[in-house]
Amino acid sequence: MQFRNQKQPEKIEPQMAPMIDVVFLLLIFFMCTLRIISQEGDFNINMPAVAQAQTETPKLLPDFKIRLLADVETGQLVEIRFGQRSLGTGPRAFLLLQQTIKEQIAGSPYADEIEIEIDADFDLNYEHVISTVSACTGEVTGATTEGGRRTISRFVEKIKFAPPRQSQRPPVGG
């Protein structure tokens, strides 16, 4: 026997509005019951100023400063200085610079931390700066790898540049 007015049972879906209300009520509850505590190990201690001066570590490595002087008109390299020492100019000066750096860092346990500062005149041709960087970073040795490439012995990996400044030298020809 079938009833005429009987319909298919309706699909029952959960009500979303009461669930959202419950979630918001839980959120408000946890926000109100949260206790904010100070971080562990956050000590407010005033140390005397004398103690700070005593804790400074002594500088173990000398400053490596290279000064590149340029001719104002041509931009050619006039002189290379390593600290206060003049190394001259030309390819021989770059080899002398390379040898000087190699001697300075030889046997130093802090060779990885050495930093070289290059201070070049504003007018200097860029090729001389690249040659200086190459001389500071290492040298090509006579040994070859399996692929036929020559090996490079690294000296320094940290190189920084001083801001360029105008050359104070008069032109070479004048």
For 121-145, what is each residue's pLDDT tens digit?
888 888 888 888 888 887 776 666 6
With respect to residue 13, please indicate whether it lies within any of the assigned structural domains.
no
Domain around 75: 66-141+148-161
- Does the pLDDT at position 52 exceed 50? no
Q: Considering its fold, how many domains does the chain have in total?
A: 1
With respect to residue 44, please indicate whether it lies within any of the assigned structural domains.
no
Tokens of 170: 């008069």
- Does the pLDDT at position 28 exceed 90? yes
Q: What's the CA gap between 122 and 68, in Å, rounded? A: 10
- Does the pLDDT at position 174 exceed 70? no
With respect to residue 32, please indicate whether it lies within any of the assigned structural domains.
no
Q: Considering the entire predicted model, what is its pTM?
A: 0.55
With respect to residue 103, please indicate whether it lies within any of the assigned structural domains.
yes
With respect to residue 36, please indicate whether it lies within any of the assigned structural domains.
no
Q: What's the CA gap between 158 and 144, in Å, rounded? A: 25
With respect to residue 171, please indicate whether it lies within any of the assigned structural domains.
no
With respect to residue 169, please indicate whether it lies within any of the assigned structural domains.
no
With respect to residue 112, please indicate whether it lies within any of the assigned structural domains.
yes
Query: Could you report the per-residue pLDDT of 29-41, keeping only the tens digit for each?
Result: 999 998 877 666 6
Residue range 161-173: mean pLDDT, rounded: 65
